[in-house]
Amino acid sequence: MTVILYLLLLILALLLGLFLWSRALASQARATVPPVGQIMEVAGGSIHYVEMGPADAPPILLIHGIAAQLQHFTYGVTDLLRDDFRLIVIDRPGSGYARRDNDEDAALPAQAAMIAEFLDRKNVGSAVVAGHSLGGAVGLALALDHPEKVRALALIAPLTHVQDEIPPIFKGLELRTHAMRRFVAHVFAQPVGKLTTDKVLAFAFAPEHPPADFMTRAAAILGLRPEAFIGAASDLVTLEATLPAQVARYGELDLPGGVLYGDSDVLLDPPVQGRSMTAYGLTYDTLPGRGHMLPITAPAEVARFIRDVAARAPGAPTKS
């Protein structure tokens, strides 16, 4: 009996230690990368965003992927577009410094509804929407459910179809209950994330390499917070129900757009996720030797791609 009691006390001490380490890592992350923009409340949460460029220029909305934040675009892409476009770069609800009140609102239609409300409150009638990875799936949901808000779609290494296998670096996010997501987030996720960061980033960027300043300049350190883990886990598990229904509606798409992929992407399958969208009127291009993290590793090519899609949008200025 005494041995069992000691074991229980040891386990409790270990859990407490991990909890306190998680809190310290989260505090360090928030101090290292504080909010950089403004926060707007919307039904079901809030959106953290930055704006740049001429206020009267054509608007472009930029949406990041899973377990990410708006700095994936401000890292290198926005400086190449800001002179000619009104750029609105957001943290999706539940990511970065944006809030999501209910895990269920990670569903693609719910995220699209919150972003549409945000655009309404910003007095943006419609915009070219550029989405990376899961941000591409959210952009597609926005185009399907709120077509008046989307003039054209620029999809960068997007998730468009159901994957047969969850990428290994996301396996730990597959938690299907609120309680389990929060328990893991507040006790295990941050210490494990801290210890495995190099391995995770190597896989996400392969065959390329993450830049030395990715944790700070691209704000990846914000992933070492419980709320970031909960948001990413909710994003992942809700795809199972919402993505197949979205795929069934792609025939409704009626707008210009394109897909850009790295042909060596190991996170998502370029033909399955990208080339397949040509059946719905989107163009498809690849970058040789590039991986999944194109906004970080190929900002010039991504900016050029977004410009090309914007030029095809209805009402786009005619080149002289």
Q: How many CB atoms lie within 10 A of CB 303?
A: 20
Largest distance between two CA atoms of the chain: 85
Collect contacts of 239-244 with beta carbons under 8 A, ≥24 apart: 239/108, 239/137, 239/159, 239/162, 241/107, 242/107, 242/108, 242/109, 242/141, 243/108, 243/137, 243/159, 243/161, 243/162, 244/162
Residue 3: pLDDT band (50, 70, 90) is confident
Task: Give the pLDDT confidence score for residue 5 in this predicted structure.
Answer: 82
Q: What is the dihedral of CA 35, 299, 61, 151, to 10 degrees?
A: 180
**pLDDT above 80 for 31:** yes
Domain ranges of the chain: 36-159+243-311
For residues 260 and 305, give the distance between their C-alpha atoms in angstroms, rounded to a whole number: 7
Task: Give the pLDDT confidence score for residue 320 in this predicted structure.
Answer: 37
**pLDDT above 70 for 319:** no
Domain 36-159+243-311: give its CATH code: 3.40.50.1820
For residues 141 and 138, give the distance between their C-alpha atoms in angstroms, rounded to a whole number: 5
- pLDDT tens readout for residues 54-113: 999 999 999 999 999 999 999 999 999 999 999 999 999 999 999 999 999 999 999 999
- pLDDT tens readout for residues 134-188: 999 999 999 999 999 999 999 999 999 999 889 999 999 999 999 999 999 999 9
Residue 207: is the preceding peptide bond cis (ω within 30°)? yes
**Residue matched to tokens 């065959």:** 207
Q: How far is CA 47 from CA 75, 197, 276, in A?
A: 19, 26, 31
